[in-house]
Structure 1
Amino acid sequence: MLRPLSEALDLGRFAAHVEASGRLLPRLVLHERVPEITLPPSAARVDGAAVILAVTPRWDPLLFVDVEIPDGSDAIADTLYATWQDRSAMRVGGAPLTEWLDERLHAYRVTAGPADQPPLEFGRNVHQSVFPGAAHAQRLLAEHTSGDAVSQEVVAIVLRGTLNDGTGATLGIRRPETLNNPGQTMVAHGRGVSLIVGYAPPVENAFALAAAGIVNAVAAVHRIRRQAFEALELDRTAVVETTEGARALVTQLSRRLSDLQLDLSFSVEAYADTILIPELLIESFHSSLRDVSALADAVTNTSRIVDRVNAVLATRCVDLETASQEYAEGRDRVLATVIAAGSVIALPPALLLAFFGVNSSDVDPRRSILDVQHYGVAYAIAWLPFVLLIAVGLVARRRVSLSLSASEAVIPDQRRTRRSWLGRSRRDGR
């Protein structure tokens, strides 16, 4: 059911790169032309839209909504702000957009995705791309200069109308040098909006695909950090009283760590470079957008967080190994004690039985073997060595315990001596 995005987006010469990347890039799930779509009340009125839904290799959904609105910077800025802040108000045929998508995906979810996947909902991360029409594009290109300053109209669009500035300041708006040719092309973008003027539709669609990769990577960073903190909270609140409980906790932490590492590799790091679409134009746009979103620093910090989870798991594994070793040592100690006790108990009677079974003049057949007065020397010879051996073992064990206690007591004495010397040094002014 999953197909390359090139079937829904006109990517021109970039289609070969998208198809060659295979499952590393988002893949198409749904592509429909929606005749009746309603945007939030403050947005411009549109006659229709194209809805494209794709999924990443880690089954993160990406939604593309392509709408056409009337020309004019005020309408564009208002629409950008409304669809950014109030996306849940978007309707298709009177139904919320997410519910409409869930109905369309009911059959897809059974065959293409996990059956227990939750209903779709809008996330926190969104990137909006503006491709002005011919008349508007000519006006913007006429105002475009080779300097760093941007016009007030560009500021209104890229900042979604939240700030109007007539001083010509950049206000953090990026203009990649490779993509800006005065009078021909212009690209101005912030973290959430890109204004792309003068490029052909395949290049525009490739820019949108690159922006979608950055959006997915940023969203995955937030999710990975949240799940990492949940794993640490699980480790902190877990009450482990048995070896089986420790093994279950280690298994659960291992699975979470594996998911975190896979997310970090295939949802973040795979979109942090430009090797998926190795073209100069796309690389320039991707690099600029990645810098403004601080994705490189986010990946580095998130990798450290995942390493901390790995360290916690390693500590738990050491604790489990120590507990297992202590259990094995205790079991072997009990077994050795039982064998030693059995040997001590069994050998003297065996010697006595051997003595009484000998056909010798020392054994009087008229007397009972329990006659201690007559056979006292034989009993003493049989039992005395084992009694002496037990006594020597107990004395040696006590001496070892006393020597260990003395060694442990030397440490606090040395610390007290060191603290008293430091106290004298401070009093002496040293």
Structure 2
Amino acid sequence: MSGAGTLSDGPNPFPFAPYAARETIRLTTVYATPWTYDPTMVDQTTQRPGDVLNLGRLATYYNTSDQQLPRVLRREVLDCSSLACQRWRAGEPVSAQLWHFLVPSGQVVVALTLDITGTLVEAIPLLEDLYYASITCAGLSLEQLAADRIGCGPNDDETPGFLPERHQLVFRSVDTPDQAPDDDLVQRVIYRSDLPYRAEHSSIRYPAELNRRPTTVGALGPYVSLIAGHQDYIENCVLLSAVQAVGSAARLREVRAVAYTYVHRFRHRTTAQGDAHDRRTALEEISDGLSQLEVELSYSVEVGGEIGMLVPALRVESFHQELFAAIGVTERAATIGQMLNRLGNAIAAELTSVESMEQRAADRRRVRTVVAVTFVTTVSGTLGLLFAFFGINARQVDEHRSMFDGRYTPIYALIATILLCALAIFAGMRLQERWEERRDRSRTRTWESTHRLLAREAGTVILEPATPPSPPQRLPGSRRPENRTQPSRATPR
């Protein structure tokens, strides 16, 4: 994959790196996988892209921003004679390489590169085989081979295969403008079918920076891209952009799947949770998961769609942005972001409802406590007054008389008066509270306050509703006007 090329900042007679000159057609298929590495181990297990791929003058930028761009995990040259395809029968590839990339999120992305002879139309069956991974190497499927190379063993007697997200790159050299693929050939390659089409119904994108010269062609589709007539380092930059796009698309689908799981748990939360504490615990778990999904959506999907700040190259930036748009990552990320935001708002509203329930429960507990304490205080206070009176050593207390004797009527009247005063104070405070509630309900409504504010500040005129005028009285001798239209009468037959 790292062609010879010529560095533009080195001693050479050309002002820029020469265009790729190969007699074969290069097909690279990028596959998303379910395999993930610990992101903290990326530096120890991978190499910087500029140390493996020929990136020309852009190698410095890729190596400087390697923490935000794909890194090379491993590369292996395959035996072409051991490769077998399901549809393609035009011989065997000239060369074959198996790549393992690691994106910043820790996802492993696999790429298979084949160099073949022939025409672009003859390569269409091979593109179909590569897209569906219908290719074997020494009797092993491509998925099994890629898993074995990184030590991914079978899980439950089955090796996890590639994910649905994948993209194909077709590279071809162009020497003269006559050799540049025309629109019909481009659509046959991108749609992987040798059939005619109508140009007005096509989703093929043509980045401006990749089609400036008569000998350069850049056409992008959702699943296949054709790059013709460009330098070798541009082709390698295109490969890294495809790896980043496929990894972001796979992570976006996973974020959406987890978000739907949280939506299901949120909508069915009342079937198992009864009290407010269980509901709050379930909502907090969902809220914590949503915060992690939002971070993953931002740093593993949305940020990956921008490369111009890292690599100042117009052709690389143009292809990168158009590829993310063609695959649909940019638009779908915005939709998933809105879904996460709305689910977060719903959870926040539900947490507010739970807090209100907990507050009401706390108020009820406080009322019960106050009532119990007040009752005990009232009873104990009353008995304390009574027993304190009878316990004093005074001549008003006769130890030979019963406590229910009529002589002690004044002390009982005093205690009753105190209780009545307490009841009167409670009733008065309750009346004042009800009066304040009625006053709050009778306050001016919001729209009236707004109109009066506008009238005071902006000169708006507030019209008071006038009494509707009474109907005029008929003068003596006046006749009531008849109807303008006479009722139709049916003509008797």
Q: TM-score range by the shorter chain?
A: 0.7 to 0.9
Deviations 1:121-158 (A, max 9, x none): 222221111112x5xx348x41549xxxx343222112
Say if 1:356 and 1:168 are closer, same or farther in 2 by CA, change over 3 A: closer
- Contact 2:86 2:135 (C-alpha < 8 Å) held by counterparts: no
Q: Which runs of 5+ in 2 are unaligned?
A: 1-44, 442-493
Say if 1:218 and 1:163 are closer, same or farther in 2 by CA, change over 3 A: farther
- Mapped to 1, the partners of 2:199 and 2:386 lie a distance apart of 111
CA drift of 1:183 comes to 4.2
2:222 is aligned with 1:187: no
2:143 is aligned with 1:98: yes
- Contact 1:46 1:67 (C-alpha < 8 Å) held by counterparts: no
CA drift of 1:307 comes to 1.0
Partner of 2:410: 377
Q: Aligned to 1:250, which of 283, 292, 313?
A: 283
Q: Aligned to 2:166, which of 97, 120, 126?
A: 126
Say if 1:401 and 1:235 are closer, same or farther in 2 by CA, change over 3 A: farther
- Mapped to 2, the partners of 1:351 and 1:367 lie a distance apart of 18
Q: Aligned to 2:88, which of 37, 43, 65?
A: 43
CA drift of 1:315 comes to 1.3
2:185 is aligned with 1:153: yes
Partner of 2:239: 208
- TM-score in terms of structure 2 length: 0.70
Q: Give the aligned residue type for 2:120.
A: S
2:43 is aligned with 1:11: no
Q: Give the aligned residue type for 1:180.
A: N
CA drift of 1:244 comes to 2.6
Matches within 5 A, 1:263-302: 263-274=296-307, 275-302=309-336
Taking every aligned residue pair, what percent have the same amino acid on both sides?
A: 23
Q: Give the aligned residue type for 2:83.
A: T
1:64 is paired with a residue whose SS is strand
Q: Which has the larger radius of gyration?
A: 2
Say if 1:103 and 1:398 are closer, same or farther in 2 by CA, change over 3 A: farther
CA drift of 1:257 comes to 0.7
Partner of 2:106: 59
CA drift of 1:74 comes to 2.8
CA drift of 1:279 comes to 0.9
- Contact 1:143 1:151 (C-alpha < 8 Å) held by counterparts: no
More moved, 285-294 vs 352-361? 285-294
Say if 1:81 and 1:100 are closer, same or farther in 2 by CA, change over 3 A: closer
Say if 1:354 and 1:316 are closer, same or farther in 2 by CA, change over 3 A: same
2:109 is paired with a residue whose SS is strand
Deviations 1:201-226 (A, max 9, x none): 21101011112222233333333333
Counting helix residues as a fraction of each chain, which structure ranks higher?
1
CA drift of 1:182 comes to 4.5
Query: How many residues end up aligned between the 2 structures?
Result: 387
Q: Give the aligned residue type for 2:204.
A: I
Q: Give the aligned residue type for 1:156.
A: R
Q: Give the aligned residue type for 2:284.
A: T
2:387 is aligned with 1:356: no
Deviations 1:152-179 (A, max 9, x none): 32221122116334x7778333222322
Highest RCO, 1 vs 2 (Cα 8 Å, sep ≥ 6): 2
- Mapped to 2, the partners of 1:173 and 1:81 lie a distance apart of 18
Partner of 2:461: none
Say if 1:320 and 1:46 are closer, same or farther in 2 by CA, change over 3 A: farther
- Contact 1:62 1:216 (C-alpha < 8 Å) held by counterparts: yes
Q: Give the aligned residue type for 1:307.
A: N
2:203 is paired with a residue whose SS is coil
Q: Give the aligned residue type for 1:161.
A: S
2:248 is aligned with 1:217: yes
- Mapped to 2, the partners of 1:397 and 1:169 lie a distance apart of 78
Partner of 2:352: 318
Partner of 2:121: 74
CA drift of 1:329 comes to 1.9
Q: Give the aligned residue type for 1:264.
A: L
2:225 is paired with a residue whose SS is strand
Partner of 1:343: 377
- Mapped to 2, the partners of 1:241 and 1:247 lie a distance apart of 10
- Mapped to 2, the partners of 1:71 and 1:355 lie a distance apart of 119
Give the RMSD, CA atoms, in angstroms.
3.3
- Contact 1:39 1:83 (C-alpha < 8 Å) held by counterparts: no
- Mapped to 2, the partners of 1:313 and 1:99 lie a distance apart of 42
- Contact 2:251 2:300 (C-alpha < 8 Å) held by counterparts: yes
Deviations 1:245-269 (A, max 9, x none): 1232122112221222122111211
CA drift of 1:401 comes to 8.6
- Mapped to 1, the partners of 2:84 and 2:237 lie a distance apart of 25
More moved, 58-67 vs 387-396? 387-396
Partner of 1:113: none
Q: Give the aligned residue type for 1:262.
A: V
CA drift of 1:42 comes to 0.6
Partner of 1:261: 294
Say if 1:9 and 1:365 are closer, same or farther in 2 by CA, change over 3 A: same
Partner of 2:451: none
1:171 is paired with a residue whose SS is coil
- Mapped to 1, the partners of 2:405 and 2:49 lie a distance apart of 100
Matches within 5 A, 1:14-25: 14-25=58-69
Matches within 5 A, 1:400-419: none
Q: Give the aligned residue type for 2:384.
A: A
2:166 is paired with a residue whose SS is coil
More moved, 392-401 vs 256-265? 392-401
Say if 1:320 and 1:168 are closer, same or farther in 2 by CA, change over 3 A: closer
- Contact 2:218 2:228 (C-alpha < 8 Å) held by counterparts: yes
Q: Aligned to 1:307, which of 341, 358, 361?
A: 341
Q: Which runs of 5+ in 1 are unaligned?
A: 109-117, 409-430
CA drift of 1:181 comes to 4.2
- Mapped to 1, the partners of 2:390 and 2:293 lie a distance apart of 75
